[in-house]
């Protein structure tokens, strides 16, 4: 092995939902999901097996987005109504 590892990442921007656990005033969040080709411990292996069985992803990091413009939408939103 040459000392490098494969890593796949998926970055998703999401909006708000009641009970989402984001801080007050956040317009949404960025979710960083990762899958790495490295050795993992038994607990992580069980979590990955569960995600695979449930056709789910593991969210590695959540970054809240705050709307500076008062529109209620996160940065980069270009959908209807804007």
Encode pLDDT of 59-78 as tens digits.
777 888 888 765 555 454 44
Q: What is the pLDDT of residue 42?
A: 81
Is residue 80 assigned to a domain?
no
Is residue 72 assigned to a domain?
no
Q: Which domain holds residue 50?
A: 7-66
- The distance of Cα 11 from the centroid of its chain, to the nearest Å, equals 6
* Phi, psi for residue 53 in degrees, rounded to 5: -65, -35
- The Cα–Cα gap between 56 and 63 comes to 20
Low-confidence residues of the chain, pLDDT below 70? Answer: 1-6, 36, 38, 69-82
Is residue 32 assigned to a domain?
yes
pTM metric for this prediction:
0.49
Is residue 46 assigned to a domain?
yes
The H-or-E segment that residue 50 falls in is: helix 42-53
Is residue 1 assigned to a domain?
no
What's the structural domain count of the chain?
1
| Size of the chain, expressed as the number of residues it contains | 82
- The Cα–Cα gap between 33 and 59 comes to 5
Is residue 76 assigned to a domain?
no
């Amino acid at each position: 092995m040459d000392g490098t590892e494969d890593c796949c990442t998926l970055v998703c921007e999401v909006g708000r939902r009641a009970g989402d656990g984001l801080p007050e005033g956040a317009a949404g969040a960025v979710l960083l999901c990762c899958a790495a080709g490295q050795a993992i411990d038994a607990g992580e292996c069980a979590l990955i097996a569960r995600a695979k069985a449930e056709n789910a992803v593991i969210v590695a990091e959540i970054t809240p987005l705050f709307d500076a413009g008062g529109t209620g939408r996160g940065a980069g939103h270009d959908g209807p109504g804007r």
